[in-house]
Amino acid sequence: MKHAQSAQKKRPAKGDNFRGRSLGIRDHRSNKEQRQAYFRHHRLEFVNAWLQLWLTPMATLLSILVMGMAIALPVTLWTLLDNVKMVTGFWDQGTHLVVYFKPDVSNDKAQMIANSIKGNPAISESQFVSKDQGLKELENQLGNVVSLAGMQGNPLPAALKITPVDISQANVQAIKQNFSQYAEVDEIVWDDLWFQRVEAAINFFDRMLFVFLFGLATLIVLVVLTATRLAIHSKAAETKVLKLFGASDAYIRRPFLYAGAWLGFWSAIAALLFASLVINWMAGPAENLLSTYMGSSTFHGIDLMKAFQTLLLGVGLAWLGSWIATAQYLESTR
């Protein structure tokens, strides 16, 4: 019984940073004291990692500039692409299909068909234009240039203006197929070639943004991985002493992870500054281009959500690079 109690007392606490199994060191602290020491060490390493970066200011600044420029490129492209999508959103609201009925179809019959498509999820709005309304609109457009008063009868057909939910090719084709089943429909007019080109261009730039982001993210991870390996090499003697005293892998890894996180944070700040400068430089021509299509300047820069996501991206990639470097080192010293 006494041997069992003695063995239980010598057993190190679970999750202790310094296990000390090889030296027989025991931790007499309570669980509360161990938790306090754990969080205290996190605070100390968080601050110490920031101070350690600036012991080599030139190397740190060069790393921040390289990583900042790598992050700034996809952030700038991302912002410009969002503005292009806003333009297409404006086109979505102002674009409609026109369904022309055959001239011999009465207004009542055309109105019945128009009522039958209400509630269609692919259609946002619909406006029925009777033959008389179409003739009045034509007279208003022609003005005094041509007089329609002497014309016998009304040769214009009834029409239906449809605003789709979106201008995707699949959605518009679904609307066309829905109306093609009616024998009373003569023609469906929509400039689909232009919008197909716009949609294809947006899909292309979406994929190009992903390729840029993936390639530059890999570059950032490699830069931080190399910097962390150099830091580990400079502290190899200190790390060996800590391992002799039974320091856990998490304890040894922690300062390098915080150093990488700080590096990623300031690189993201630099990227936001670079991207803002480029976007402000392009804002004037971009506003003129957008006003040509939309009639007003609606160019938007980097908002708070985009800035927050950029910070998370920079910190996360740098943390990943530091973790890979320390994992490789710890695996090689086992």
Domain ranges of the chain: 31-90+198-332, 96-189
Q: What are the residues facing 101 on neighbouring strands?
A: 185
Closest by CA to 50, choosing from 300, 329, 265, is 265
Query: Is the separation of the CB atoms in 100 and 186 below 8 Å?
Result: yes
Do strands 159-164 and 123-129 pair parallel, antiparallel, or not at all (unpaired)? antiparallel
DSSP assignment of 81-120 equals: HHHHHHHHHHHHHH--EEEEEPTTS-HHHHHHHHHHTTT-
> Which pair of structure tokens corresponds to residue 97?
């299909």
Task: Render each residue's pLDDT in the chain as its tens digit; 334 residues.
Answer: 444 444 444 444 444 444 444 444 455 667 777 777 778 878 888 888 888 888 888 888 988 998 999 899 889 888 888 877 766 554 444 467 788 888 888 888 888 888 887 777 777 777 888 877 776 776 665 554 445 555 556 677 888 888 777 766 777 778 888 888 888 888 877 766 666 676 777 788 888 888 888 888 898 899 889 888 888 888 878 878 877 777 788 888 888 899 999 999 999 999 999 999 998 888 877 777 766 655 445 677 888 899 999 999 999 999 999 999 998 888 887 7
Which position has the token pair 């803002």? 276
Q: Which fold has domain 96-189?
A: Alpha-Beta Plaits (3.30.70)
Distance of CA 192 to the CA centre of its chain: 28
* Side chain identity, residue 31: N
What lies within 8 Å, CB to CB, of 290 at 6+ separation is 83, 87, 296, 297, 298, 299
